[in-house]
Amino acid sequence: MLEIFLSSLEALGVLAFALSGILEAARKHFDLVGVVMIGAVTAFGGGTLRDVLLDRRPFFWVEQEFWVWALILVGLALPFFYRATHVDLTEKAIVIPDAVGLGIFAAGGTHLALVAGMSPMIAVLMGVITGVVGGVLRDVLINEVPRAFHDHQPYAVIAFAGGWAVVLLGYLNTPEYLDVAIAAILIVTMRLIAVRFKIELFRWRYL
């Protein structure tokens, strides 16, 4: 039950992050190869680095090859869909899928690290890596400063807080799938609230 739930949740996170990468690449007028590659890097980047650091084999996307094919199909079909429906690809279009991907990957990554025997702090950092790195790679490849570092709205901080939610819920002996689900929903909600109300972190200034 838990394994099926986590696999389904991770699949949803893959599709959400892939969608954010594909939309961003389409906004930049990449060709179809570029769109698919950006989507793949966004979807698989954070989880792959997590698996490398935790020495997990095979990588999560190698183990679930179906989602690689699904990503390719989405990447090929989505630009034609937006062209046919004349929907504008604005920066706001990626906010929701990016927030969903962040929540699922940060919470799920923290849980996987805890199961692997990591300490709470290391597990939370693994969750942050899982949730943030894909978006960072996406922005680097489209030649932009990563939003996670420069838009001043909490992103990695929210993933960090959500990771601790997974840890704290674990001490309450609630079902593990519930820990991950609650933390993921919390992260998504906090991210969307931060974007909606333009909540910003302290801006570092040299004196």
Phi and psi at 113, nearest 5°, equal -70, -40
The pair of three-digit structure tokens given for residue 198, joined into one six-digit string: 């333009």
Residue 207 pLDDT level (bands cut at 50, 70, 90): very low
Q: What is the pLDDT of residues 102-123, one digit of tens each?
A: 999 999 999 999 999 999 999 9
Average pLDDT, the chain: 87
Contact in structure between 130 and 178 (CB atoms under 8 Å): no
Contact in structure between 128 and 156 (CB atoms under 8 Å): yes
Q: Name the one residue in this structure whose structure tokens are 């979807």.
A: 43
Name the pTM for this structure.
0.91
Mean per-residue pLDDT, 68-91: 69
Q: What is the pLDDT of residues 3-37, one digit of tens each?
A: 778 778 888 898 899 888 988 888 888 888 888 89
Q: Which residues of 74-89 are buried (b: 16+ CB within 10 A; e: fewer)?
A: bbeebbeebeeeeeeb
Residue 192's closest CA among 164, 163, 158, 162? 158
